[in-house]
Amino acid sequence: MSGGDRLATSLGAAAARLARARRVVVYTGAGVSKESGISTFREPGEGIWARYDPMQLATAEAYARDPAFVWRWYMDRFGLIDQAAPNPGHHALAALERLVSLTIVTQNIDGLHQRAGSHDVIELHGSAHRYKCVGERHTGFTLADVSGSDEAPPRCPRCGDLIRPDVVWFGETLPAAALERALELASGCDVLIAVGTSGVVYPAALVPVTAHQAGAALIDVNPEPDAYADMADWFLQGPGGEVLPRLVDEVKRRRGV
């Protein structure tokens, strides 16, 4: 059987399971947004941390040492994110949400799932569109809230502390409420779809493991085998932007939509 035939067979079986699912969790990583032109973090030779030292850019200590330098780097990166558009993988997941009860748990900070039309999105690593003061007493700012300031980085309009991106840096814990809800949903879902993730970044990587241990069917979508491939019920090899539209179309066919 050719690789294409194996994928079609596995895709059909996975779609059949999805079509009768009551509760679905989709766990996404940087690979989903790579097809929108946003670099991954850990890909050898190409990822962001292959080109930059994360200790100089993505730690509270780095920000305290040179806030202007770190702020400028993030503003450049967030500008690229703002120029990106959701790809067919994002749109397919938004379409799947209209067929089954579904929550997306993402490691991504780009907001592309929401822009594609997904409504229930848990952001484990924060958001490129939110800011907070360094003391974390005040959160939920947008750049528009501090746009009148000439400082870079600007200061919190409520306490005067520096503003920082509301993303999880190295050495910081994930948002407790987001991680707790993600693990709770994973432990109670029928099917978990992992898309575009290496499966090596913990504790976020516990989400698919939790679902698998609780008895959920696991569908793994990735161009190359990852940490979940061996435990997956179906490993659908290929980019999410190619595999997910086919998977959702097959679910629609089986449900007569």
Question: Is the pTM above the cut of 0.85?
Answer: yes
Whether the bond into 153 is cis, omega within 30 of 0: yes
Model pLDDT for residues 7-24, shown as the tens digit of each residue: 888 999 999 999 999 999
**Which class in CATH covers the domain with range 1-37+86-125+173-257?**
alpha beta
Predicted pLDDT of residue 57:
86
State how far the Cα of 122 lies from the Cα of 108, in Å rounded to an integer: 10
Q: Which residue has the tokens 């050898």?
A: 44
Which of 90, 125, 129, 212 is catalytic? The answer is 125
Q: Would you give the end-to-end CA distance of the chain in angstroms? A: 30
CATH fold for the domain made of 39-83+129-167: SIR2/SIRT2 'Small Domain' (3.30.1600)
State how far the Cα of 2 lies from the Cα of 65, in Å rounded to an integer: 55
The token pair that represents 95 in the structure block: 């379409």
Give the pLDDT mean for 208-219.
98
Can 125 be counted among the known catalytic residues? yes
CATH 3.30.1600.10 residue window(s) in the chain:
39-83+129-167
Higher pLDDT, 150 or 241: 241
CATH 3.40.50.1220 residue window(s) in the chain:
1-37+86-125+173-257
Predicted pLDDT of residue 84:
96
For residue 1, is pLDDT > 80? no
Other beta carbons less than 10 A from residue 81's beta carbon: 18
